[in-house]
Structure 1
Amino acid sequence: MTKQPNILFIMSDDHAARAISAYGSGLNSTPNIDRIANEGMRLDRCYVTNSICTPSRAAILTGTYNHVNMVTTLDTHIDNRLPNVAKHLRAGGYQTAIFGKWHLGEGKAHEPSGFDEWSVVPGQGEYFDPVMIDPSGSRMEKGYATDIITDKCLDFLSRRDIGRPFFLMCHHKAPHRSFEPHPRYKQLYADGNLPVPETFSDDYSNRAAAAAAAKMRVRSDMTYKDLGLVQPEGGEETGELLLPGWTQRKVPDIAEGGSLRLIDGATGENYLFTDPQKLALFKYQRYMMRYLQTIAAVDDNVGRLLDYLDAEGLRGDTIVIYTSDQGFFLGEHGWFDKRFMYEESMQMPFLIRYPQGIEAGVQASHIATNVDFAPTFLDYAGLQIPSYMQGRSMRPIFDRTADDGDTGLAYHRYWMHKDEFHNAFAHYGVRDARYKLIYWYNDPLGQLGAFSGVEPPEWELFDCEKDPFELHNRANDPAYSEIFEELLAKLDARMAEIGDTPEHRSAEVLAGLRSRGLSLDMQSDQANDRRWAIAAP
């Protein structure tokens, strides 16, 4: 039997691919994370199957979609009696450990299982002096979370049984909101000159109602804490509460002729704004500065782990992966956060290095998803991939033996309809090499309150090659009617394959499409009506 490789899986939280310099945006510098790409492979189409922390982690651990592992939202936690990849690897001879963010529930029924050692933060955890939980209980750890989590990983590696391979999950809580950089990075990106996305002032026209309804706007939905500002004493006049009963407030917008004074929480510097657009851009610069400063600590600590592998002669025998639990909006469409199936939120960064099996400095455009991670680990370990896992091994992509004609298909489903924080609508859809089809549907159980205004159901279709920023919904465009039908068939096939239950009826959708005369020779005057929805009554 070929020697089983070590597996070091490093995952951050909410780290957008655009904030990794190996992806070429020029936004920031991540030299240590880039080492993995330069010495291995960069995936450009790795997608999350549910763009929110808890469900993504469940999919990674189990290799199943969320309707199967039952972790569909932030409030549905994993049943740790379920099989998972750590259990299979441990049974196959690996020593296993996880340190950092777990976020799949607490208490005996939800704590990590399948790991020889574990120490995790409760919930989101804190950046400074975090409480951490392990089998012996909970205690406060002095220091900065990103450093502490790495220290624990290095300690585990230093005490490992050198006669057995290891599977180590290093799960950083950074750069999750609220962004709290270590003071050692306070000068980074502080000049206020970070590039502003082309779509920052998006007006959400020609899109589904969900885009305009979302409360994820940099200019109106970020808190004083998010931006490192002093929250003044007072009530509603100081800003809208993040949630009823909370103390955090959003930094208000201003109207023409209004003014707002803000105070830096670290330096006490005052800023006075009388121009709404200048205030919005200030918020963007503060957001991105703190976000990128928080990532700098992650990058430095990735370097510590890579240096250890090199020093111990483990580089050749170890698969190293860097990823995030989903993507993140960095001002694109005026947003922060994730949740949506739009590209910036759906794309996971994925870098992998394995000198024995992966060529250095290459990129791949085949589609993969987070349900594929667990089967991939087992494939490299030479262990059987169990029948319950719904993903497939990514190894042919890494070996560069994948069929160029089969570029893959990603399925995504977000279940948290109109959550209190973000007002993001439930949706599902598929993304192939060029096109994306999204169905925005009503809460099927009617548990989340009455709707108001224009709401789902609605369809969106994007040509991601011609429209990479996803600004033009083509679901109603007669020139794309055949593409719509093809993507709908792919959606139906994937949902049937994985056993997910659709909220649409394709026969009625297609009948509606044809009854409205949306054929290739039809004029498109009605196709520009963004509120027309191809959906069952």
Structure 2
Amino acid sequence: MNGKLLVLPGALCAATGSVFAQQARQAEQKRPNIVYIMSDDHAVQAISAYGHPLSQVAPTPNIDRIAAEGVRFDRAYCGNSVSGPSRATILTGKHSYSNGFKTNADFFDGGQTTLPKVLKENGYATAIIGKWHLKTYPTGFDYWKILDDQGMYYNPDFVVMSGDTVRQKGYVTDIVADESIEWIDKHKDSPFFIMVHNKAPHRNFQPAPRHLTLHEDTFFPYPDNLFDDYEGRKAAQRQEMSIAKDMMPAYDLKLYTRKEGWDPKTDWGPDYRFMDSTEKAAYIASYDAANRAYYDNPPTGDSLTRWKFQRYMRDYFSTIAAVDENVGKILDYLDRTGLAENTIVVYASDQSFYLGEHGWFDKRFMYEESMRMPLVIRYPREIPAGTEAKSSLVQNIDFAPTLLDWCGIGKPAEMQGESFRAIADGGDRAVKPGKNWRKTLYYRYFENPGIHNVMQHAGVHDGRWKLVYFYSNETPVPAEHFFELYDLKNDPHEMRNIYGTPEAGKQTARLMKELKRLASYYNEVLPPCPELENL
């Protein structure tokens, strides 16, 4: 032999094919994975990366990791502050009026274009585990396992792809995270997209067994407007989401109906009945001493409101503790398996939540505490650690276009949002509002008549000024309507409605025109009123 390597044609083809296959796998692996983690009603004020005084006594170190290792958005907003409508918007990239899911009583149209469908069509494995809350079965997912409606915190029922309902032992936040990691592990060799949807910390705020007494000795600072009198704000005067008046003693506050002879199965309902005997005993024990002290010396008036606020905060933040722990578990898995560098991790909530501001719990209004959304994103391959987007206005209609942009997929024409990829990568300096980014946001709330009696309203927000158009339910012409205007620079807590005052004239006219323009831009029809019709 002459020492030359003899390669047969078949072997050459096999070797070449192997190289091409390897290159194809490498190219495929460069497409980012997406882990989209969303909680329900997790307030911006309850994430310590945002620096609010409440979160400083009950920090969220693992969610903070995402912000520290990626980008934190300070001006992320929803377009309709209710769970189902926000979820529909995130899926479709369209406002509620356009995607058809305007209230929690609606049924989601799974036939329309959605983020998971587009990703699946482009080779992604897709899944959703946890809360769905859209009344129809998920579409566009290779795998789904969703909570039955709102779902229970303890030993919850899940609806599976066969349509069957199965009860699963454990605490819901732990189950959702563990099963999400299990699914990721099975699909880590191809691009994947998973929506990890928590029930927590949704009302009625039930902590995991290990966290039942976590904050029993924590004092939570009161908001300055806990005892708001709603002067000049008629819609706020009519709401039914007051801590003082509308929180249910047994359901929300875990009080007994009486000190002796109470029945937890009746007082606490299915939330208690789903527990096993050990969980029930621990649950009762965690509240018993404080509840008996309450009945021994019942607080009244403002003292009662403060007592309710502290109980609400202790349960709410204790429920968040499991969310944060499980975010850490997912991050640790991604780091440990080498997936972190090429995986986009998003943490968001469907909207924010009132933690005593204006004396409230819940959401719905266009005011900051419910319209804002927490949003932090980690993508080590592209987003510099510690990036901050402090002023750029982003909205949940933008989530789908942005994730598609990172995946190299064009935005479907019907999606109304825009990609904020440049802002995530470079912060506020990457865009110029009015040139290559928006200057205003549109909002519209539809759910009245409905729980908490918040009037229907639409509005426009430019980062400083906010105009809100409230109207009653009659169609086609509302019997009642009125406007509110706020200067967030000088009134960040929206306590003084300056609509109709001399100082508001110039801003009112400008924002009226902008509200009308945005409604037309998003193909919506607002209820008529002279102020808008006569522009």
Tell me the TM-score normalized by structure 1.
0.85
Instruction: Report the CA distance between 1:232 and its aligned residue.
Output: 3.8
2:79 is matched with which residue: 45, 49, 73? 49
Aligned equivalent of 2:292: 269
- 2:490 aligns to what? 466
CA distance in 2, matches of 1:53, 1:169: 15
Structure 1 residue 147: Cα displacement: 0.2
Partner of 1:181 in structure 2?
A: 207
Aligned residues: 476
Distance 2:255 2:304 in 1: 13
- Cα drift, residue 457 of structure 1: 0.5
| Structure-1 residue corresponding to 2:350 | 325
Does residue 411 of structure 1 match 2:434?
no
CA distance in structure 2 between the aligned counterparts of 1:329 and 1:508, rounded to whole angstroms: 30
The residue type equivalent to 1:269 in the other structure is R
Which residue type is aligned with residue 51 of structure 1? S
Q: CA deviation at 1:273?
A: 1.9
Alpha-carbon offset, residue 186 of structure 1: 2.4
1:392 alignment partner AA: E
Structure 1 274/127 Cα, relative in aligned 2: closer, same or farther at 3 Å?
Answer: closer
Q: Of 174, 181, 186, which residue of structure 2 is paired with 1:159?
A: 186
Report the AA paired with residue 15 of structure 1: H
Q: Which amino acid aligns with 2:220?
A: L
Structure 2 CA distance, aligned partners of 1:404 and 1:326? 24
CA–CA distance in structure 1, aligned partners of residues 339 and 102 of structure 2: 37
| Higher helix proportion | 2
Q: Which runs of 4+ in 1 moved over 4 A?
A: 263-268, 404-407, 505-511
The equivalent residue for 1:437 is 467
Q: Is 1:80 aligned with 2:102?
A: no
Q: Please tell me whether the aligned partners of residues 488 and 506 of structure 1 are also in contact (alpha carbons under 8 angstroms).
A: no
Match of 1:346 among 367, 371, 375: 371
Unaligned runs of 5+ in 2: 1-26, 261-265, 271-284
SS of 2:65's equivalent in the other structure is: helix
Deviation at 1:220, TM superposition (A): 1.2
Q: Map residues 346-495 of structure 1 onto 2, 5 A cutoff.
A: 346-364=371-389, 365-400=391-426, 401-403=430-432, 406=437, 408-419=439-450, 421-445=451-475, 456-495=480-519
User: What is the CA RMSD across the aligned residues, in angstroms?
Assistant: 2.4
Q: CA deviation at 1:188?
A: 2.3
* Residue aligning to 2:17: none
Q: 1:379 to 1:198 in 2, by over 3 A?
A: same
**Corresponding residue for residue 99 of structure 1:** 129
Q: Which string of whole-angstrom CA distances, capped at 9 and with x for unpartnered residues, describes residues 453-478 of structure 1?
A: xx841100100111000011111111
2-side partners of 1:442 and 1:385: how far apart? Answer: 36
Greater Cα offset, 85-94 or 184-193: 184-193
Q: TM-score with structure 2 length normalisation?
A: 0.85
Residues 1:231 and 2:257 are matched in the alignment: yes
Contact 2:352 2:373 in 1 (8 A): yes
For structure 1, which runs of at least 5 residues remain unmatched after alignment? 235-240, 249-262, 512-537
**SS of match in other structure, 2:340:** coil
Aligned partner of 1:61 in structure 2 is 91
Q: Does the aligned pair in 1 maintain the 2:512–2:532 contact within 8 Å? A: no
Question: Amino acid of the residue matched to residue 88 of structure 1?
Answer: V
Note the C-alpha offset of 1:155: 0.8
Give the Å deviation of 1:266. 4.3
Letter in 2 for 1:127: Y
- State how far apart, in whole Å, the 2-side matches of 1:423 and 1:507 are: 25
The answer to whether the 8 Å contact 2:212/2:286 transfers is: no
The answer on whether the counterparts of 2:299 and 2:307 sit within 8 Å (CA) in structure 1 is no
User: In structure 1, the residue corresponding to 2:220 is in which secondary structure?
Assistant: coil
Q: Deviations over 1:270-305 (max 9, x none)?
A: 312253111110000000100000000000000000
Q: Is the 8 A contact 1:368 1:408 kept in 2?
A: no
Structure 2 equivalent of residue 21 of structure 1: 48
For 1:201, what is the secondary structure of its paired residue?
A: coil
Q: Indicate yes or no: 2:223 matched with 1:197.
A: yes
SS in 2 for 1:159: helix
Shift of 1:510: 5.4
Partner of 1:531: none
Deviations 1:279-338 (A, max 9, x none): 110000000100000000000000000000000001110111100000100000000000
Identical positions, percent = 44
Judging changes above 3 Å, is the alpha-carbon distance between structure 1 residues 274 and 90 closer, same or farther for their aligned structure 2 residues? closer
Counterpart CA distance in 1 for 2:532 and 2:141 is 48
**Which protein shows a greater Rg?**
2
